[in-house]
């Protein structure tokens, strides 16, 4: 934490009070006496003794910023100080998790254990009275995760409302990401390959694959048309026309998720399209306000992007008609965004209430990840894009609407792959807070 950020002691104390109050209610809903959260246990690859990268249970890192403490546990019992059962094995093969230190430690009763199995004696005796959150492989003798739906529904829904502490973490995650994006852009301008741009990004972020909240998407030219392109070509293309980078950063368990697209030619046709999408994206971000339906914002984005397609000569129909005919979905085939927080694709994007239920996506929009109405405290991404994807364009060519498309213009843009611009935006009581734009501005 650098010094320009607020003292985390009071922020964390408030955060923890909020979590305790939520846990109390969740236990009432489920009829349990204790909430027990397993950090998780690393899983080995098939027929191998090498584990997959460890990803901590997001419920665990909600309570404290320990993301590398496998086989540790948290126990919340209403009215009591939360207990942390913390494994520090006697192990000379692996790094032993750091001793608890920092702003959060005073808020827990901490018991250090040396073997994973020792946790059992420190956990509540009667497993049947416990809501135990975790993966099946975290089970101890007679004490297995049960993940009660009533409890999870309540906690997941409430997790959408970030505490001031969480927003502080996400501001830092955004700053790390923005700094690394600048390094990646410099590498692109210097003619680097995707592989070397990725190295430049990780070096600037001071994070490698296992630290980052998701695998970096770094695509030059046509590769930008593969939505989750992760191949990282070692050689640069003979001529770079465009560069799309979707890469975030982690801080104390919280994610940022940032996409930028650059044109090699700063005065060319693709730059004009990038600028148009960027301006539209800022308009969508401005609508991240309490009471705004997210799926309606997604449909609004389709209309605006459809109008951009018309203005830039790709189609001859209005954005509204292009949406109705399914044409915008050829060029914008993913959702406008998703909730973000402890997970890059955070939970409860479809949840109807804190007791469960699902809010359906609008018909014809199968990839939208957020159907709720925005409320203060929610953080969502806003990530419109326009792509030239061979497979989807071939399908469109078979449709009646194909006659409304200027195929020569479309073909001329295939070499750029596509554009996406993505920010992480906080819904507040008033104007939205754009974590990503603020982070870039702070670098300038």
Cβ closest to Mn ion, residue 112 vs residue 227 = 227
Q: Which residue has the tokens 């306000």?
A: 289
What residue ranges bind ligand GLY (CB under 6 A)?
214, 246, 257, 338, 383, 422
- Angle, helices 8-30 vs 164-189, to 10°: value is 110
Q: Using the rule CB under 5 A, is 424 a contact of Mn ion?
A: no
Cβ closest to Mn ion, residue 207 vs residue 259 = 259
The only residue of 166, 194, 222, 257 in contact with Mn ion, by rule CB under 5 A: 257
The rounded distance, in Å, linking the Cα atoms of 134 and 132 is 7
Residue 214: name its binding partner from ligand GLY, Mn ion, none (Cβ under 5 to 8 Å by kind). Answer: ligand GLY
The number of C-alpha atoms within 13 Å of 27 and in the hemisphere containing its C-beta is 22
Among 393, 385, 431, 359, smallest CA distance to 274 is for 385
CB of 102 to ligand GLY, least distance (A): 29
Q: Which stretch binds Mn ion (CB under 5 A): 117-125, 151-159, 404-412, 421-429?
A: 421-429
CB of 384 to Mn ion, least distance (A): 11
CB of 228 to ligand GLY, least distance (A): 7
The rounded distance, in Å, linking the Cα atoms of 402 and 206 is 47
The only residue of 381, 382, 393, 421 in contact with Mn ion, by rule CB under 5 A: 381
The rounded distance, in Å, linking the Cα atoms of 187 and 220 is 12
Cβ closest to Mn ion, residue 205 vs residue 317 = 205
CB of 300 to ligand GLY, least distance (A): 19
The rounded distance, in Å, linking the Cα atoms of 390 and 152 is 41
Among 255, 221, 257, 236, smallest CA distance to 419 is for 221
220 to 225, 318, 395: CA distances (angstroms):
9, 30, 24
CB of 296 to ligand GLY, least distance (A): 20
Cβ closest to Mn ion, residue 257 vs residue 307 = 257
Cβ closest to Mn ion, residue 150 vs residue 257 = 257
**Strand (E) or helix (H) holding 352:** strand 351-353
Binding residues for Mn(2+): 246, 257, 338, 383, 422
Which residues in this chain contact Mn ion in the complex, by CB under 5 A? Answer: 246, 257, 259, 381, 422
């Amino acid at each position: 934490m650098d010094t320009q950020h607020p003292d985390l002691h009071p922020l964390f104390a408030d955060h923890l009070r909020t979590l305790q109050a939520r846990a109390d209610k969740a236990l009432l809903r489920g009829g349990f006496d204790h909430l027990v959260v397993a950090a998780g246990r690393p899983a080995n690859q098939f027929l191998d003794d090498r584990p997959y990268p460890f990803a901590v249970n997001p419920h665990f890192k909600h309570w404290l910023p320990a993301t590398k403490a496998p086989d540790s546990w948290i126990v919340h019992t209403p009215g009591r100080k939360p207990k942390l059962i913390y494994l520090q094995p006697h192990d000379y093969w692996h790094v032993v998790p750091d001793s608890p230190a920092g702003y959060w430690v005073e808020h827990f009763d901490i018991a250090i254990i040396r073997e994973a199995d020792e946790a059992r004696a420190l956990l509540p005796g009667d497993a049947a009275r416990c809501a135990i959150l975790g993966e099946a492989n975290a089970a101890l003798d007679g004490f297995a995760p049960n993940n009660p739906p009533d409890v999870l529904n309540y906690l997941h829904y409430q997790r959408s409302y970030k505490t001031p502490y969480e927003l502080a973490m996400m501001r830092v995650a955004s700053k790390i990401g923005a700094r690394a994006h600048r390094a990646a852009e410099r590498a692109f301008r210097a003619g680097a390959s995707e592989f070397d741009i990725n190295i430049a990004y990780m070096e600037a972020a001071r994070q490698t694959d296992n630290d980052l909240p998701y695998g970096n998407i770094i695509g030059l030219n046509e590769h930008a048309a593969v939505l989750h392109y992760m191949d990282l070509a070692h050689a640069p293309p003979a001529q770079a026309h465009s560069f799309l980078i979707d890469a975030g950063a982690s801080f104390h368990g919280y994610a940022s998720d940032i996409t930028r697209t650059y044109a090699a030619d700063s005065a060319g046709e693709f730059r004009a399209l990038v600028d148009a999408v960027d301006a539209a994206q800022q308009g969508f971000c401005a609508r991240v306000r309490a009471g705004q339906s997210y799926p309606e914002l997604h449909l609004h984005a389709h209309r605006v992007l459809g109008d951009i397609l018309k203005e830039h000569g790709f189609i001859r129909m209005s954005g509204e008609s292009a949406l109705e005919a399914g044409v915008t979905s050829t060029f914008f085939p993913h959702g406008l965004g998703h909730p973000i927080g402890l997970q890059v694709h955070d939970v409860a994007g479809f949840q109807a209430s804190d007791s469960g239920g699902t809010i359906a996506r609008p018909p014809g929009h199968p990839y939208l990840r957020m159907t709720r109405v925005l409320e203060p405290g929610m953080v969502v991404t806003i990530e419109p894009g326009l792509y030239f994807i061979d497979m989807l364009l071939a399908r469109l060519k078979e449709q009646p609407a194909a006659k409304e498309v200027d195929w020569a213009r479309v073909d001329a843009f295939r070499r750029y792959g596509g554009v996406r611009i993505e920010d992480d935006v906080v819904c507040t009581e008033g104007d939205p807070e754009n974590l990503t734009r603020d982070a870039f501005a702070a670098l300038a």
